């Protein structure tokens, strides 16, 4: 029985080390996947925050238009543009097209997404409203 055990251990030598190495590789791939998912989640969260900020800034101008019950350019339009530039949006710019005849306004806010270069494409938030 001792000879059989010795023969068995010689044929099995090194397999435990190989199994451990394979387990480490599988575990490492899993951890790498989790890290990448976290990075994508953080990026998406940042983009959602920027879009929400743009929507709130556009809503500020819409509220001003509704208060005056007119789609004419409000007197504090320049102040609104300054608010867009000073917001959390990277290189944020706000513009609006006012059409008093139809009581419509088109509001556009552009910015460079965080973590991107100024030469990269800008993100755009556009909304159109009818003031009644």
Which pLDDT score, from 0 to 100, does residue 84 have?
94
Domain count, the chain: 1
Give me the domain span that covers residue 88: 2-130
DSSP state at residue 74: P
Interval 8-19 mean pLDDT = 73
**Measured distance CA(123)–CA(90) in Å, rounded:** 10
pLDDT band at 10 (very low <50, low <70, confident <90, very high): low
> What is the phi/psi pair of residue 92, to 5°?
-70, 135
Interval 15-40 mean pLDDT = 93
The verdict on pTM exceeding 0.75 is: no
Q: How far is CA 94 from CA 84, 90, 111, in A?
A: 6, 12, 9
Alpha helices in the chain (DSSP H): 2-12, 15-68, 77-85
- Is residue 24 predicted with pLDDT exceeding 90? yes
- pLDDT (tens digit, 9 = 90+) per residue, 56-71? 999 999 998 888 877 7
> What is the phi/psi pair of residue 43, to 5°?
-65, -45
Which pLDDT score, from 0 to 100, does residue 20 have?
92
Q: 85-115 as b/e, with b when 16 or more CB fall inside 10 Å? A: eebebeebebebebeeeebebebbbbbbbee
Interval 77-91 mean pLDDT = 90
Interval 25-35 mean pLDDT = 96
On whether the CB atoms of residues 109 and 124 are closer than 8 A, the answer is yes
On whether the CB atoms of residues 55 and 68 are closer than 8 A, the answer is no
- Is residue 19 predicted with pLDDT exceeding 60? yes
Which pLDDT score, from 0 to 100, does residue 36 have?
96
């Amino acid at each position: 029985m001792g000879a059989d055990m010795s023969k068995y251990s010689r044929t099995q030598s090194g397999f435990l080390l190989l199994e451990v190495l394979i387990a480490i590789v599988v575990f490492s791939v899993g951890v790498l996947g989790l890290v990448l998912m976290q990075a994508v989640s953080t990026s998406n969260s940042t983009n959602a925050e920027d879009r929400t900020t743009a929507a709130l800034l556009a809503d500020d101008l819409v509220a001003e238009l509704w208060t005056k019950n007119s789609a004419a350019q409000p007197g504090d339009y320049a102040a609104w543009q300054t608010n867009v530039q000073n917001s959390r949006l990277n290189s944020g710019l706000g513009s609006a097209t006012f059409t008093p005849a139809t009581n419509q306004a088109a509001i556009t806010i552009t910015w460079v997404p965080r973590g991107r270069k100024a030469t990269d494409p800008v993100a755009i938030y556009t909304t159109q409203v009818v003031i009644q």
